[in-house]
Amino acid sequence: MFTRAGAAAVGYHKRSEVFHHRLGLGGQAESFDGEMAGLMIAAKKAVEYTNAHPQINRIYIFADCTAAIAAIHEPKPRAAQRYAAIFREKILDLLDHHPNIKVELSWCPSHCGIKGNERSDELAKQATNLA
């Protein structure tokens, strides 16, 4: 029996949620795929939001999976490599066009009440029914 996987990302600006997106990954995906897809979604949506709001000069992306964060920085082929490639493509393109913007990717602990992390987990669970 396969379990279904989902991914999601939530964006905040000045403590208010400004975007969220969820993606169903179907029954062949694993939780790591969900983590990687979540990072890809975060990069895409953060870049879109930043391009529409030129006053923004810092982007912080948080993930609760250290393996996914490490995979984003590793160009070698591995599981979910397409998600990592899209993440890097979106962020590098943003930095090429806006060299004054700073982007930081950091780990955050899971299941300890961090607003954005809890919201993203909730949306990812909902997304399991989308594909």
Query: Tens digits of per-residue pLDDT, 18-33?
Result: 999 999 998 788 889 9
Burial class, 28, CB count within 10 angstroms (exposed 0-12 / middle 13-18 / buried 19+): exposed
Q: Which of 104, 93, 89, 99 is nearest to 40 (CA)?
A: 89
Q: How far is it, in rounded angstroms, from Cα 71 to Cα 68?
A: 5
The domain segmentation of the chain, as residue ranges, is 5-127
At 1 the pLDDT is: 45
CATH for the stretch 5-127: 3.30.420.10
At 72 the pLDDT is: 92
- Average pLDDT over the chain, rounded to an integer: 91
What is the mean predicted confidence (pLDDT) over 13-21? 96
At 23 the pLDDT is: 94
What is the mean predicted confidence (pLDDT) over 39-64? 96
